[in-house]
Amino acid sequence: MSLWFALKDFRARISKIRFIIFTTAFFSADFTFIFILLKSVGYVQMFAPISMFVIVALAITLLHLEDKTNLNIGVLRALGANQSTITLIFLLELTLVGVIGVFTGIILGFISVVAVSTLTHLTLPKAATLTEAFSLIILSCLMGVLAGVVACLISIWKKSAKTVVETLAYTK
Amino acid sequence: MHTQNNLAIALRHVKKVYDGGCKPIKIFDDINIEVRRGEFVAVIGPTGCGKTTLINLIAGFDVPQAGNIYVEGVDITKLHEREKTVFRAKNIGVVFQVHNLIPTLTVYENVELPLVLLGVEKNERRKRVEELLEHMFMGGYANRKVSTLSVGECQLVNLARALISNPKILLMDEPIEYLDPLTTDTLLAFLKGEIFRKKTVLLTTHKRKVAKIAERTLYLRRKIP
């Protein structure tokens, strides 16, 4: 059931989801681009503050997916969906959106770095260093997604724990 | 008083008070209502007398401060939220006053939703939804988004969604409140039809014309604060 509704909702809210994927990809791409460039010039001290910024930015971006969900939650509860089913719907949606956005961004960021290095004759780090850099980038981005997903799910769980009357009262 | 076995709905000494900010708003102090199985009951009363609260309490959407609510012999005030949700999905269909359809889904998907929640198989779902929509002269609307429908059309979809799981009890909260006379007549004719036979129906309204189609009418008075 959760997957059925998540996919329908995914399709139905496509404009919002497209915007969130685009923003998530934008942050991830920028992060990949900047970090690999810093790694190329051997200046890696900036990694920690930049990764913190990206984690917060990704989490805030994903929080938009949770906005205006009271009607859906209220109706689903009224028709017989329990708290776990509703939370699972949003877990699926958030994970799909977050992972698609992050990996698209990382790929685009890497393509941009390769393009810039070709144009400016900048030497990219060696394969081993690059692998290490990608591990850190993926880890940071996924931490951002995780933070966003957890924050959203706490909110969804709280909303779906209310009575149907209370949930629907906040939709108008 | 009827035996418990004959009753589809029974409210015993129910009290409901809302937090009204500076002072609590007492909706029901000690209300007792009985509805027999298969009976069509209309609840009539002015705005603010507690008609919607009554529907919400029977459907388990809201909880009373005191008293017991028996639906099909089960005291729903004693059920855990999860059990109440399952019980509602299997036994109760609700037609909301404000239709509460999911605007991003199509008519077909909105009507299909209760069956998905009940775990009905896909082919069976399609058969039942198509049959019901045809029966309600809404076959041509199946693929339309509900955001493109008129209020009257939304209310018919709302009714179809409540009926699709074939519930024993149908609760209707002022179903014709926002309808034009023609759609009202269509809906009233439908309520008298075959599909409603053997179902227990509790309908709230403040229009006597609607109450006339019921077998019994209950009157709710507004308490002057």
**Which residues face A73 on adjacent strands?**
none
Q: How many domains does chain A have?
A: 1
Distance in Å, alpha carbon of A164 to nearest chain B alpha carbon: 5
Q: What is the mean pLDDT of residues A117-139?
A: 82
Q: What is the mean pLDDT of residues B128-149?
A: 87
pLDDT digits (tens, 9 = 90+) for B156-191: 898 899 999 889 999 998 888 777 888 788 777 777
CA atoms within 13 A on the CB side of B16: 26
SS3 annotation, B161-185: HHHCCCCCEEEEECCCCCCCHHHHH
Q: What is the mean pLDDT of residues A125-143?
A: 84
B76 or A17, which is more confident?
B76
Among the four given CATH numbers 3.40.50.300, 3.30.70.250, 3.30.465.10, 3.40.50.720, the one describing domain B39-63+84-219: 3.40.50.300
Q: pLDDT at position B155, please?
A: 86
Confidence of residue B128 (pLDDT cuts 50, 70, 90): very high
Q: Say if the Cβ atoms of B116 and A74 lie within 8 Å.
A: no
User: Is residue B1 scored above 60 in pLDDT?
Assistant: no
Confidence of residue A31 (pLDDT cuts 50, 70, 90): confident
Query: What is the maximal distance between C-alpha atoms in chain A?
Result: 64
ipTM for this model: 0.79
User: Is residue B131 scored above 80 in pLDDT?
Assistant: yes
Q: What is the mean pLDDT of residues B70-86?
A: 89
Average pLDDT score over chain A: 83
DSSP code at position A45: T
For residue A28, report the phi and psi dihedrals to the nearest 5 degrees: -65, -40
Q: pLDDT at position B224, please?
A: 55
User: Is residue B215 scored above 90 in pLDDT?
Assistant: no
**Which residues, 6 or more positions from B146, have their beta carbon under 8 angstroms from its beta carbon?**
B101, B102, B103, B105, B106, B107, B110, B154, B157
User: Is residue B125 scored above 80 in pLDDT?
Assistant: yes
User: Is residue B64 scored above 70 in pLDDT?
Assistant: yes
Give the C-alpha separation, B131 to B133, whole Å. Answer: 6
Q: What is the mean pLDDT of residues B73-84?
A: 89
For residue A127, report the phi and psi dihedrals to the nearest 5 degrees: -55, -45
Answer whether B105 touches A (CB < 8 Å): yes
Q: Say if the Cβ atoms of A165 and B62 lie within 8 Å.
A: yes
Q: What is the mean pLDDT of residues A39-59?
A: 83
Intra-chain end-to-end CA distance of chain A, in Å: 26
From the list B103, B104, B113, the residue facing A79 with the nearest CB is B113
Distance in Å, alpha carbon of A159 to nearest chain B alpha carbon: 14
User: Is residue A171 scored above 60 in pLDDT?
Assistant: no
Q: pLDDT at position B26, please?
A: 85
Q: Say if the Cβ atoms of A79 and B161 lie within 8 Å.
A: yes
Residue with token string 């509460």: B100
Q: What is the mean pLDDT of residues A111-127?
A: 82
**Which residues, 6 or more positions from B129, have their beta carbon under 8 angstroms from its beta carbon?**
B108, B111, B112, B115, B142, B164
Count of Cβ atoms closer than 10 Å to residue A70 Cβ: 18
pLDDT digits (tens, 9 = 90+) for B31-40: 999 999 989 8
Closest chain A residue to the Cα of B118, Cα to Cα: A80
Give the C-alpha separation, B222 to A145, whole Å. Answer: 52
Answer whether B144 touches A (CB < 8 Å): no
pLDDT digits (tens, 9 = 90+) for A57-93: 999 988 888 777 788 888 888 888 888 888 888 888 8
Q: pLDDT at position B11, please?
A: 92
Q: Which residues in chain A have Cβ-Cβ distances shorter than 8 Å to B104?
A: 8-9, 12-13
Give the C-alpha separation, B191 to B197, whole Å. Answer: 9
Confidence of residue A2 (pLDDT cuts 50, 70, 90): low
Give the C-alpha separation, B13 to B36, whole Å. Answer: 18
Count of Cβ atoms closer than 10 Å to residue A12 Cβ: 20
Answer whether B116 touches A (CB < 8 Å): yes
Q: What is the mean pLDDT of residues B5-16?
A: 89
Residue A12 · residue B104 · CB < 8 Å: yes
Q: pLDDT at position A45, please?
A: 76
Distance in Å, alpha carbon of B197 to nearest chain A alpha carbon: 22
Tokens of B148: 């493109």
Confidence of residue B225 (pLDDT cuts 50, 70, 90): low
Identify the top-confidence range among A19-28, A88-97, B65-74, B202-211: B65-74
Q: Which residues in chain A have Cβ-Cβ distances shorter than 8 Å to B83?
A: none
| Residue span of the structural domain in which A79 resides | 2-169
DSSP per residue, chain B: ---GGGEEEEEEEEEEEE--TTS-EEEEEEEEEEEETT-EEEEE--TTSSHHHHHHHHHTSS--SEEEEEETTEEGGGS-HHHHHHHHHHHEEEE-SS----TTSBHHHHHHHHHHHTT--HHHHHHHHHHHHHHTT-GGGTTSBGGGS-HHHHHHHHHHHHHTT--SEEEEESTTTT--HHHHHHHHHHHTSGGGTT-EEEEEES-HHHHTTSSEEEE-PPPP-
Q: What is the mean pLDDT of residues B7-15?
A: 91
Q: pLDDT at position B10, please?
A: 93
What ranges do the domains of chain B cover?
A: 39-63+84-219
Residue B21 · residue B196 · CB < 8 Å: no
Q: What is the mean pLDDT of residues A46-50?
A: 83
